[in-house]
Amino acid sequence: MTLKDTNRVPTGQNTEEHMSNLTRRNLLAGAAVAALPPLAVPRAQAAAPLAEKQNPGWYRYKVGSFEVTAVTDGANTNPLSDSYIGNAPKNEVNAALVANHLPPDKVTHAYTPVVVNTGSKLVVIDTGLGLGMYQQSKGAVGQFHTNLAAAGVDRNAVDAVIISHCHGDHINGLLGADSKLAFPNAEVMVPAGEWAFWMDDANAARFPDPIKGQFANVKRVFGALGNKPTQYEAGKELVPGITSMATPGHTPGHASHIVASGSDKVLIQADVTAGAATLFLNHPEWKSAFDTDGPLAEQTRHKVYDMASADKMLIQGFHFPFPGRGYVEKSGSGYRLVPAAWNPAI
Amino acid sequence: MTLKDTNRVPTGQNTEEHMSNLTRRNLLAGAAVAALPPLAVPRAQAAAPLAEKQNPGWYRYKVGSFEVTAVTDGANTNPLSDSYIGNAPKNEVNAALVANHLPPDKVTHAYTPVVVNTGSKLVVIDTGLGLGMYQQSKGAVGQFHTNLAAAGVDRNAVDAVIISHCHGDHINGLLGADSKLAFPNAEVMVPAGEWAFWMDDANAARFPDPIKGQFANVKRVFGALGNKPTQYEAGKELVPGITSMATPGHTPGHASHIVASGSDKVLIQADVTAGAATLFLNHPEWKSAFDTDGPLAEQTRHKVYDMASADKMLIQGFHFPFPGRGYVEKSGSGYRLVPAAWNPAI
């Protein structure tokens, strides 16, 4: 590109003239372009400091007359370990990351609990990694309680907390800074199959880490709450308009939830795909180290996503990138996520 | 589904048992499920009122050492007119809407200006529909100034406002409530080809509406500012790290901008795809009623997106759904947008 070229004023009359400025070489030659003298900008004030602050991540939408608020607990990024996918080599995992416009050799896990206001009940579904992890991660995760406040949700007003399954990223936020229930007026509901599984020491003995290590955490959290959650069964309407659905495999009693109002509904899927969820959407056959039953988890993924893609069902995914709301389409031998458009109003 | 079924507790031992709960009939039979008695939830407090309030839409990310903040001006939805796409029948447009998980017979336009803090300069790129439209639309659009404040950006600290082209949704927010420059210390920069086109009354005479109707608005806005913007050429570095690129067709002097810091960059595309941008990504050959030169707009789309898809280049799109940040992939005879993952920190 010459100075002569850049001084041409596009007039809209001559296609060739305009397009001469639009070549790959010009677009990528940032360094060469930078050598041109910039236009003078008057300096009327001091440089504005960098903000280094993100928008508190919450997003609200209607489901019929209900309000659903997705509230991020944050996200963390860790090196990709050789055992992250039990049945695929690291180079295949890296290829999938890159195909998803993600950097190789690391995996990002995002966490998005949900608040549903049905108009008569205020319900939280899953609770994030908790305040301990907030401190440990320097705010990268464990943001749920502060983002709830930013979203204008009063923890004291919450009627029920529905837990999808007993992994730490879903239950730790049940506890406040005082290690008591962070939602003091709420009934805590846990799938009966989860309670039976995690309370049985014999199960801890027969699983390797990282699953073995999770048993103590379940006892820690629910022990602090007096070990008295309400146990619920699959297919039950837990609160008017919120119905549980068995989606086992990730854990034995893992439940998803259908939030329905009028003719409108959303599937709150929890961990049908967990961790770096995009990878397991693309490869439902991949075995996560966190799945207690890999083949059953795979089967559940196919059942849920074959249904959701055929019916163009809206899905809210705990581990989808925030705000975690989208549609699933068939793609190759798996699926892909199509995020729903953000509505700047409600 | 019978009560007997729903009372089975999944144990993780028996695949068939679990999957019996997960059928399309169960998932969709919300009404039948609703007939089951819900679990009792203690009512410790009054029902929480619906919030009816959305998160102020801004999202911040780093490009090298720069901070880019996408700030929504809102979105509006209008009926799909027969003339919305000049060269495709309404049923084809509806099919594309539905394929994108959007409702038929209407189109939503989202608007997302951008703020770049280079560390030494604070720069706004495009300005939204302005305060008049904020009032007229009851807050659906024209949110830019209030969302800027929510993002912690002081309008008085802005050094430069770069305009991509002179359509009202890009220039109206230049004016504050007093019809004076809303960024009192900023230099306003406009593509020279835009200025030449919109200031020439002969051009107004040769275009039909809606293009004809835009000339008066350009004179209104820049007249209020004294008709003295800095005119810039394609290929120029306007502020250190922000370089213009000619992307004509939507309008004759339409410019996009490359924001580059270190080895990192993002293409701020403005209206390479405008209006319901997803449709023109899928169908780059579709003629928008707002494009002054349809064939040139199509050619620009192919040039930009062939390059961006080959190079996996990050694009910030003014009319992409908020936060408007993503990648473009080839899909069929066109392209599709893959939104970039939201980072809950910065």
DSSP states along B242-276: EEEEE--SSSTT-EEEEEEETTEEEEEEETSS-SS
Q: Residue A74 is nearest to which of B151, B249, B344, comparing CB atoms? A: B344
Q: How many CA atoms lie within 13 A of A315 on its CB side?
A: 33
CA–centroid distance for A98 within its chain: 19
Work out the average pLDDT over A63-82.
97
Q: List chain B residues with CB under 8 Å of A181.
A: none
pLDDT tier at A29, thresholds 50, 70, 90 = very low
pTM of the predicted structure, to 2 decimals: 0.89
Alpha-carbon distance of B281 to B306, in angstroms, equals 11
Give the pLDDT score at B19: 36
Domain A67-339: CATH architecture, name and number where available: 4-Layer Sandwich (3.60)
Taking chain B, what is the end-to-end CA distance rounded to the nearest angstrom? 47
Alpha-carbon distance of A274 to A317, in angstroms, equals 9
Tokens of B209: 């509406």
User: In 3D, which of A134, A214, A139, A208 has the Cα closest to residue A177?
Assistant: A134
Work out the average pLDDT over A26-47.
50
Tokens of B122: 């604070």
Every domain of chain B and the residues it spans: 3-34, 58-339
Give the pLDDT score at A34: 41
Q: How many CA atoms lie within 13 A of B281 on its CB side?
A: 27
Alpha-carbon distance A167 to nearest alpha carbon in chain B (angstroms): 15
Subunit contact A340:B101, Cβ cutoff 8 A = yes
**Where is B328: in which H helix or E strand?**
strand B325-331
**Where is B279: in which H helix or E strand?**
helix B277-282
Give the pLDDT score at B30: 40
Alpha-carbon distance of A109 to A44, in angstroms, equals 43
For residues B273 and B308, is the Cβ–Cβ distance under 8 A?
Answer: no
Identify the residue whose tokens are 């899909």.
B331
Q: Which residues of B258-269 are buried (b: 16+ CB within 10 A; e: fewer)?
A: bbbbeeebbbbb
Which residues of chain B are modeled with pLDDT < 70?
1-45
Sign of CA dihedral A183, A189, A191, A197: positive
Better pLDDT: A156 or B24:
A156
CA distances (Å), origin B209, targets A241, B84, B116: 48, 12, 34
Return the residue in B7, B22, B28, B254 with the most chain A beta carbons within 10 A, the one to mutate for interface testing: B22
Tokens of A124: 């939280």
Minimal-distance CA residue of chain B relative to A137: B345
Alpha-carbon distance B223 to nearest alpha carbon in chain A (angstroms): 21
Tokens of B250: 């939507």
For residues A318 and A112, is the Cβ–Cβ distance under 8 A?
Answer: yes
Return the residue in B1, B3, B16, B18 with the most chain A beta carbons within 10 A, the one to mutate for interface testing: B18
Q: How many helices (H) and strands (E) does chain B have?
A: 13, 16
pLDDT tier at A39, thresholds 50, 70, 90 = low
Q: List chain B residues with CB under 8 Å of A101.
A: 312, 327, 338, 340
Minimal-distance CA residue of chain A relative to B185: A44
For residues A280 and A274, is the Cβ–Cβ distance under 8 A?
Answer: yes
For residues A267 and A212, is the Cβ–Cβ distance under 8 A?
Answer: no
Give the pLDDT score at B6: 31
Helix (H, G, I), strand (E, B) or coil at B217: helix
Subunit contact B12:A74, Cβ cutoff 8 A = no
Contacts (Cβ under 8 Å, ≥6 apart) of A212: A204, A205
Q: Residue A10 is nearest to which of B19, B33, B248, comparing CB atoms? A: B248
Subunit contact A10:B265, Cβ cutoff 8 A = no
Q: What 3 state SS string does chain A have?
A: CCHHHHHCCCCCCCHHHHHCCCCHHHHHCHHHHHCCCCCCCCCCCCCCCCCCCCCCCEEEEEECCEEEEEECCEEEEEECCCCCECCCCHHHHHHHHHHCCCCCCEEEEEECCEEEECCCCEEEECCCCHHHHHHHCCCCECCHHHHHHHCCCCHHHCCEEECCCCCHHHHHHHECCCCCECCCCCEEEEEHHHHHHHCCHHHHHHCCCCCCCHHHHHHHHHHHCCCCCEEECCCCEEECCEEEEECCCCCCCCEEEEEEECCEEEEEEECCCCCCHHHHHHCCCCCECCCCCHHHHHHHHHHHHHHHHHHCCCEEECCCCCCCEEEEEEECCEEEEEECCCCCCC
Helix (H, G, I), strand (E, B) or coil at B71: strand
CB-count exposure of residue A146 (10 Å: 0-12, 13-18, 19+): middle
Alpha-carbon distance B89 to nearest alpha carbon in chain A (angstroms): 24
Give the pLDDT score at A208: 87
Minimal-distance CA residue of chain A relative to B338: A338
Contacts (Cβ under 8 Å, ≥6 apart) of B159: A41, A42, A43, A44, A45, B121, B122, B123, B185, B186, B187, B239
Per-chain mean pLDDT for chain A: 89
Q: What is the CA radius of gyration of chain A?
A: 24
Give the pLDDT score at B46: 75
Give the pLDDT score at B303: 98
DSSP-derived secondary structure letter, B283: -
For residues B91 and B103, is the Cβ–Cβ distance under 8 A?
Answer: no
- pLDDT tens per residue across span B175-233: 999 999 999 999 999 999 999 999 999 999 999 888 888 999 999 999 999 999 999 99
Neighbours of A329 (CB within 10 A): 16
For residues B92 and B136, is the Cβ–Cβ distance under 8 A?
Answer: no
pLDDT at A19 over 50: no
Give the pLDDT score at A46: 75
Better pLDDT: A25 or A93:
A93
DSSP-derived secondary structure letter, B157: G
Which amino acid is it at A279? L
For residues B207 and B292, is the Cβ–Cβ distance under 8 A?
Answer: yes
Work out the average pLDDT over A109-118.
98
Which amino acid is it at B294? G
Give the pLDDT score at A186: 97
Domain B58-339: CATH architecture, name and number where available: 4-Layer Sandwich (3.60)
Taking chain A, what is the end-to-end CA distance rounded to the nearest angstrom? 47
Tokens of A267: 């599937």
Contacts (Cβ under 8 Å, ≥6 apart) of A11: A17, B193, B196, B197, B252, B253
Q: Residue B234 is nearest to which of A21, A24, A322, comparing CB atoms? A: A21
DSSP code string of B88-137? S-HHHHHHHHHHTT--TTEEEEEE--EEEE-SS-EEEE---SHHHHHHHT
Tokens of B111: 């608007």
